[in-house]
């Protein structure tokens, strides 16, 4: 096995674990009853390269906007995630859906969405980083 192959496998495992961590965090946040200003829903799949590229972006948004933005990830190719693909009418992955504090969708993006552009979107909706 080549060094490049090993590094790729480690990256895939890391990103898969990040998805599990984000999904688990969503469950805990939802049950806490906390009211967030924005919910950022990422609909993708572990087998999709642009979707995997979104994992560190989601982690950074979750960290930098903690308490103000809830980050949720659904793998739409799994049994658990498929209903969300239908609910949010996913046509391509990755898809990012942004909901206001009342649960109303106010923005949708298809494809890789850079961190800096997400920050600008959040700032337009009066949500600032906690740093």
What residue ranges do the domains of the chain occupy?
Answer: 3-124
Per residue in 17-32, pLDDT (tens digit) is: 444 444 433 433 344 5
pLDDT for the residue 35: 84
**Residue 61 pLDDT greater than 70, yes or no:** yes
Rounded to whole angstroms, the Cα distance separating 67 from 7 reads 34
**Residue 44 pLDDT greater than 80, yes or no:** yes
**Residue 13 pLDDT greater than 50, yes or no:** no
Give CATH superfamily name and number for 3-124: Glutaredoxin (3.40.30.10)
Q: What is the DSSP letter of 5?
A: H
Task: Give the closest residue to 97 by CA, choosing from 117, 73, 80.
Answer: 73
**Confidence band (pLDDT; 50, 70, 90) for 33?**
low
pLDDT for the residue 118: 98
* Model confidence pTM above 0.85: no
The whole-number average pLDDT for the span 119-130 is 94
Centroid of chain to Cα 9:
21
Residue 4 or residue 107, greater confidence: 107
pLDDT for the residue 15: 45
Task: Give the closest residue to 19 by CA, choosing from 53, 67, 64, 63.
Answer: 53
């Amino acid at each position: 096995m080549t060094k490049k192959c090993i590094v790729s496998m480690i990256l895939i495992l890391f990103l898969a674990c990040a998805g599990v961590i984000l999904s688990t965090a969503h469950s805990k946040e939802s049950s806490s009853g906390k009211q967030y200003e924005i919910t950022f829903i990422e609909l993708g799949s572990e087998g999709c390269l642009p979707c995997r590229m979104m994992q560190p972006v989601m982690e950074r948004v979750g960290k930098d906007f903690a308490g103000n933005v809830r980050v949720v990830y659904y793998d739409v190719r799994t049994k658990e995630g498929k209903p969300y693909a239908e609910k949010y009418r996913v046509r391509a992955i990755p898809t990012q859906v942004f909901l206001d504090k009342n649960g109303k969708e106010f923005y949708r993006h298809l494809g890789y969405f850079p961190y800096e552009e997400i920050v600008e979107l959040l700032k337009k909706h009066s949500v600032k980083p906690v740093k």
